[in-house]
């Protein structure tokens, strides 16, 4: 699955202040990484620094970028799902002109099947198709995984996976978008809307729909308006605690009034 993070300069400074940038990168690597790391620094609409490797530690990355001029910072830590554990298969992937670079969080299974035979990652195959103009950049929005990258002077984020939704921390102009945040993160984060975001746009936040339930004195709990796959079981935030629910529970208790209208 891997883990990814993107922040602007203000977000980098704020993250360092309230939690620690290196500590955050270590969390993401422990959470779902460990097969190699990579990063890029964007300044004045150009990639100023980019690197990756199996032996590239978070400490080395932090030492390279901390205190350096930047507009945006993108980080990736890899768990191998397609392609061998090697530096060439780490993210990001970038072209010779450094006008396009791409990281992915997730798996594109159709691409992964091809990649296993070529010792390439599914991400590299997607990258090659866009870089060679076989498919446009906007085609990422029709795939399954989440993406972060840089193309022709702008950073972008593609949040596709409703069950592995990217999260956002914002404070004024400062923002950090990441696959997930640690439980001990000192401030609240929100889910990003399922959409494509480009530099210069407001970051769309996915707001929950509030239903009344009859589990416990009509307390509110929050459920996203999304279809539930057969057999899927998830967790619903329930005040003042978290409860498990099944597909049947949703239809029976949550959506009952909606279906009876």
Scan for tokens 């950073």, then name that residue.
155
What backbone phi and psi angles, to 5 degrees, belong to 16? -60, -40
pTM attached to this predicted model: 0.80
**% residues pLDDT > 70 (the chain):** 79
CA distance 98 to 209: 41
Q: Where are the domains of the chain?
A: 3-198, 209-260
Q: Could you give the CA distance from residue 152 to residue 199 in angstroms, rounded to a whole number?
A: 11
CA separation for the pair 109, 149 (Å, rounded) = 20
Q: How far apart are CA 179 and CA 191, in angstroms?
A: 10
User: How far is Cα 18 from Cα 15, in angstroms, rounded to an integer?
Assistant: 5
Q: What percent of the chain has pLDDT over 90?
A: 69
What single string gives the DSSP state of each residue in 98-133? Answer: SSEEEEEES--HHHHHHHHHHT--HHHHHHHHHHTT
Whether the pLDDT of residue 70 is over 50: the answer is yes
**Average pLDDT of every residue of the chain:** 84
Q: How confident is the model at residue 256 (pLDDT cuts 50, 70, 90)?
A: very low
pLDDT in tens, 111-137: 877 777 777 889 999 999 999 999 999
How many Å apart are CA 97 and CA 10, to the nearest integer? 27
Largest CA distance in the chain: 61
Under the banding of pLDDT at 50, 70 and 90, the label for residue 138 is very high
Residue range 3-198 in CATH 3.30.565.10:
no
pLDDT given for residue 41 in this prediction? 98
**Cα-to-chain-centroid distance, residue 82:** 18
Q: Return the minimum-mean-pLDDT range out of 113-122, 182-191, 201-210, 241-250.
A: 241-250
Q: What is the mean pLDDT of residues 178-195?
A: 95
Mean per-residue pLDDT, 9-27:
98
């Amino acid at each position: 699955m891997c883990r990814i993070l993107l922040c602007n300069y203000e977000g980098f400074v704020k993250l360092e202040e309230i939690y620690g940038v290196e500590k955050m990168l270590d969390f993401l690597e422990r959470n779902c990484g460990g097969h190699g790391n990579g990063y890029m620094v964007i300044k004045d609409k150009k990639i100023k620094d980019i690197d990756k490797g199996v032996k590239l530690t978070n400490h080395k990355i932090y030492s390279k970028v901390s205190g350096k001029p930047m507009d945006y910072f993108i980080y990736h830590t890899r768990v191998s799902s397609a392609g061998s554990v090697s530096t060439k298969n780490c993210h990001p992937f970038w072209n010779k002109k450094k006008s396009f670079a791409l990281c992915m969080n997730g798996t594109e299974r159709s691409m992964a099947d091809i990649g296993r035979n070529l010792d390439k990652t599914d991400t590299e195959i997607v990258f090659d198709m866009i870089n060679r103009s076989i498919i446009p950049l906007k085609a990422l929005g029709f795939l399954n995984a989440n993406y972060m990258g840089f193309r022709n002077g702008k950073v972008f984020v593609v949040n596709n996976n409703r069950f592995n939704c990217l999260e956002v921390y914002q404070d004024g102009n400062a923002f950090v978008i990441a696959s997930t945040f640690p439980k001990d993160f000192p401030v609240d984060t929100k889910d990003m809307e399922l959409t494509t975001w480009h530099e210069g746009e407001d970051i769309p936040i996915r707001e929950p729909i509030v239903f009344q339930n009859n589990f416990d004195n009509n307390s509110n709990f929050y459920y996203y308006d999304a279809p539930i796959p057969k057999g899927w079981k998830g967790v619903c935030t329930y005040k003042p605690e978290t409860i498990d629910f099944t597909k049947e529970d949703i239809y029976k208790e949550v959506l009952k009034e909606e279906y009876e209208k």
